[in-house]
Chain A
Amino acid sequence: MRKVLAVIRREFVERVRQRWFWVMAALGPVFFGALFILPTLMMGKTSVKRIVVVDGTTSSFGARLAVRLDSEPLFVAARIAAGPGTIDSLRGAVDRKEIDGFLIVSDVAVDSGKVMYRASNVSSPVTIGSLEHVISEMVNATRLEREGVNPTLVERARIKVDLDSKKVSGGKETGENAAQSFSLAYFMGIILYMAILLYGINVMSSVLEEKTTKIVEVLVSSLRPFQLLLGKVIGVGAVSIFQFLIWGVSTRLIISQRRHLPGGGGMGDAGGFFQVPHVSASTAIVFLAYFLGGFLLYSAMFAAVGSMSSNEQEARQAQQPVVMLLVASFISMFAMLNDPGSTLSVSLSMIPFSAPIAMPVRWAAGNLPLYEVAISLGILTVSILGVTWVASRIYRVGILMTGKRPNIKELVRWVRAS
């Protein structure tokens, strides 16, 4: 056991001494901050849009719409009467960036609610959302007036709905709203993916270093290959936990100071999409449990890959299948965010190779029965034991082997060898 401790100590100390560890420690919060702040900044920076309302109505609807839009902070609007060639010249104006877009309204607008918007950018949810909101309000009011309702009454009936959504978990309302849940799930998915990949590959390069420098022969004359592997995985794992601690503390500091950061505060509605989530203790536990599970599972596979390769290039090729497993899990996260309760999501959170990313994402995104977490953790644990058993047998033979990379048949033989 003392020998395993020596290996753990070496892996930890040597890694923490390296410059890249501290570069990562410093860049981590900056990067994660950027993940939140950039989208918010980009949406927050929705500049005032110059819009022309092409009025083809026979009533005053077009003119009133232009005035109403112009009164919105997001828009500067002007009215043009529809005429031959108007649309074409406006298209040219959009091209030359003289205006951002134009609306085409006719009497159909009030009759059926159909309005056309043509612009250089139609993907901004904030712009489109505001346009829809304003137009539908105007159309509704006009239709009510047409039915003889008093305009003052219509004005008085107007109310802005503020949808206050809160996640329900364990029969209680949590402090998280929909946007926070979404960003928490998104955030956890990204950090899990990156950390498992980064530290898994760390284990692989450590194995490869000992093999290529030949020092492994001295090592395994002193301790069993499994002890060596165990010390290595625990040592690198400890580095990752240490890195998380640094990130956690510094991110917390940054968040507590975010009002003072440029663009950090006062973004109003635009900032609502990405909000700094509240991380509950249970969420932190789920996150850590699945990180450790995923790290153990993947680092065992990465160690096997390292042991069967004899140089960096070979390892880079041989790691592809393992990396692909992880990438697939990561990509499927986006499907899961849409519907955390779908059959696909549930399956992914049960399959051990995708569970380390899928389960925490589901946990953060929506309420989850505890028994599902228990089953998934159970499957993951059994898989870790199985994968580690196979990987350590490949490792045991691989580290002492030189020459060409083994094929599948040889690998099977290694695993079977007593």
Chain B
Amino acid sequence: MPQSIVAADRITKRFAGHTAVDALSLTVPPGVIYGLLGPNGAGKSTTIRMILNIYAPDSGTVRLFGEAGTGRDHSGRIGYLPEERGLYPKMRVLDVLLFLAELKGVDRRSARPKALDWLARMGLSDWRMRKVNELSKGMQQKVQFISTILHEPDLLVMDEAFSGLDPVNSQVLKDTVLELRARGKTILFSTHIMEQAEKVCDHVCIIARGKKLVDGTLADIKRTHGGKHVLVNFDGARGDADRIFADRRHVAKADVSGQFAELELAAQGDAQEVLKALVTSGARLSRFELAEPSLNKIFIDLVGPDAATASARPDAEVARA
């Protein structure tokens, strides 16, 4: 087993006008679910495309499975679900799956039973001879997902994995991803939705404006970047909460949304004092919990104003020599 499934070393990609990915290095160990996180326009798609050799990096190298060769050379061991989904609308479902499996080096005869098997699992058996454009959007997503894992890849790469999925498919995808990891496969996916990443990722790499901000295991990152955190849920009355949260002796930062608040305590802050003050001021609480910071919180702290000024999509522009 190689030490890393993906090892990107200072990869850089410039498009006319700006640098989409700037000397980014990341290492995906085997058998993990790895989240590539960042705001829109951070360079996630471009990074993934460089890993897969859809774009060649302007500089830097990508090593896959600890072996020589580009992503295209290893494409038989990689499954790829791009951000923008699509299949041949006029082809029959089964034919699309067989064709895409062929491109991954699986011959039609051995791909066929696997495809039928997966279609049955996803409840699409009756649709196998129908044309893709006769299927609902959700069904098409399932078909496309089957096409990315039909050849049993060692590495599954998904760009904005959960975007555009309905809740049912989202759950199917998550279950399948966890099952793949249990079978020792490696999953690399990008998203800008932190809640999803937090639920499934072992490792994360947060990037913004093409540069890496932090990477490591989720637990490590929470340890290093979290202060003491408190989660508060109000049950109607908020008392004098706003004033208490603004008290910098105890609370360094407060992220309030309606009936919920996530507090980062000041270095000398005491959670008990905060609780006492809240209750005294007449606030009714349904939850007061000492916690690790959420990934979302870490993300916003790290990315800061970058998130608000995300640059335009890099693929809308033209590659430069």
Contact = CB atoms under 8 A, between A and B. Distances in A.
A88 interface: no
B69 to A, nearest CB: 13
Contacts, number: 88
B88 interface: yes
Residue of A14, A210, A221, A401 with highest tally of chain B CB at under 10 A: A221
A221 to B, nearest CB: 5
Interface stretch (A131-139, A238-246, A256-264, A406-414): A406-414
A213 interface: yes
B218 to A, nearest CB: 28
Interface in A259-304: none
Interface residues of B, number: 36
Contacts of B90: 14, 18
Contact of A10 (B52, B99, B148, B317): B99
Given A215-B88, A218-B80, A221-B52, A6 B102 contact: yes
Interface in B96-136: 99-100, 102-105
Contact of B54 (A214, A220, A416): A220
Interface in B71-92: 71-72, 75, 78, 80, 82, 84-91
Interface residues of A, number: 34
Contacts of A416: 321
Contact of A14 (B82, B91, B148): B91
B168 interface: no
A417 B321 contact: yes
Given A10-B99, A403-B317, A209 B88 contact: yes
Contact of A218 (B95, B100, B315): B100
A397 B319 contact: yes
Nearest to A220: B54
B318 A413 contact: yes
Given A2-B102, A218-B100, A221-B52, A414 B319 contact: yes
Nearest to A403: B316
A217 B319 contact: no
B281 interface: no
A400 interface: yes
A213 B103 contact: no
B61 interface: no
Contacts of A10: 91, 95, 99
Interface of B: 49, 52-55, 71-72, 75, 78, 80, 82, 84-91, 95, 99-100, 102-105, 147-148, 313, 315-321
22 contacts: A2-B102, A3-B102, A3-B105, A6-B103, A10-B99, A14-B90, A209-B89, A214-B86, A215-B86, A217-B82, A217-B84, A218-B80, A218-B100, A218-B147, A221-B52, A221-B71, A221-B72, A222-B72, A222-B100, A223-B103, A413-B320, A417-B321
